[in-house]
Amino acid sequence: MLKIGLTGGIATGKSTVSRLFRKKGIPIIDADLIARTVVEPGGKAIEGVKAAFPKCFDGDVLNRPALGREIFHDETKRQHLNQLMHPAIREEMKEQMRAYEASGESVVIFDIPLLFEGTMLDLVDYSVVVYCREEIQLMRLMERNGLTKEEALARIHSQIPIEEKKHQADFLVNNNGSLGDLPPQIDRLVEQFKAIEKEGE
C-alpha cells in the first residue's frame, strides 16, 4: 500500500486538494480531524490532556478556546500538549491505514498540515506539497480570515516557509492560479501514485 503525505502552508489550498483526492476515490486520513476526536469524551488522549489542563474542561468536554489561550504564548505548555496528543494521533492514523489496507485500498493519503514540522513524516512513503507564492498565500489568508497583514504574516511565519517545503516535496501541486488549474494536476498525480504502487507489487 502506497502512503502519501499531503501538506502545504496555511491558505495554500491544501483542504481543496484533499477534497479533490477524495473525489477521485483516494481515502484520506485527516490529522486535524483525528486531533479533535482523541480529546473527545472516550478519546485516546482525553485523560492525559484533562489531567494536565483541568481548567480547560467543562466536565468531560474540552473548551478549545480556553486551551488555545492556555498554550498560545507558552511554548513549554504547547510542547507538553503535543507530547500528550501525538502518540494517540499516530496510533489512530495507523489503525485507519490498516483498515483501508485490509479493505483492499492501494493508495492512502495522510492529510497532515505540519508534516515537515512534526513527527509524522516516517508514516509516509512520499510527500505532496500544495504550493503558492507567499504573496498569494498572504492575500488569501487576509481575505479568508479577515486578518491584518501583520496578523496574517505572524501565522504564515509560525510554519516552515512554503519555499522550503516546496524543496522538500516529492510531488508539487501548483496553486498559484485558479481553482480550475487543480483537477488536471490531481488526475496526473493519481495516475503516478497508481503506477508507483503497481511497480512495488
Dihedrals φ, ψ of 126, to 5°? -140, 160
pLDDT at 55 over 90: yes
- pLDDT for 117 beyond 90: no
The answer on pLDDT for 130 being more than 90 is yes
Q: Which amino acid is at 25?
A: G
pLDDT of residue 119: 82
Can you give the pTM of this predicted structure? 0.90
Asked if residues 31 and 120 have their Cβ atoms less than 8 Å apart, the reply is yes
pLDDT of residue 6: 98
Of residues 71 and 5, more confidently modeled: 5
pLDDT in tens, 33-43: 999 999 999 99
d(Cα 201, Cα 78) in Å, to the nearest integer? Answer: 42
Query: 132-176, pLDDT tens digit by residue?
Result: 999 999 999 999 999 999 999 988 988 899 999 999 999 999 999
Mean pLDDT, the chain, whole residue set: 94
Q: Rounded distance, CA 118 to CA 60, Å?
A: 28
State residue 200's pLDDT score.
79
Cell numbers at 104, concatenated: 483492499
User: How many angstroms separate the CA atoms of 172 and 166, rounded?
Assistant: 7
| pLDDT, tens only, 67-111 | 988 887 788 998 899 899 999 999 999 999 999 999 999 999 999
Residue 13's pLDDT band, with cuts at 50, 70 and 90, is very high
Name the nearest CA neighbour of 107 among 14, 185, 196, 15.
Answer: 196
> Using CA atoms, how far apart are residues 104 and 86, in angstroms rounded to an integer?
27
Cell of 176: 498559484
Residue 68 pLDDT:
87
**Three-state secondary structure along the chain?**
CEEEEEEECCCCCHHHHHHHHHHCCCCEEEHHHHHHHCCCCCCCCHHHHHHHCHHHEECCEECHHHHHHHHHCCHHHHHHHHHHHHHHHHHHHHHHHHHHHHCCCCEEEEECCCCCCCCCHHHCCEEEEEECCHHHHHHHHHHHHCCCHHHHHHHHCCCCCHHHHHHHCCEEEECCCCHHHHHHHHHHHHHHHHHHHHHHC
Unique residue bearing C-alpha cell 490498516: 98
Q: What is the pLDDT of residue 115?
A: 93
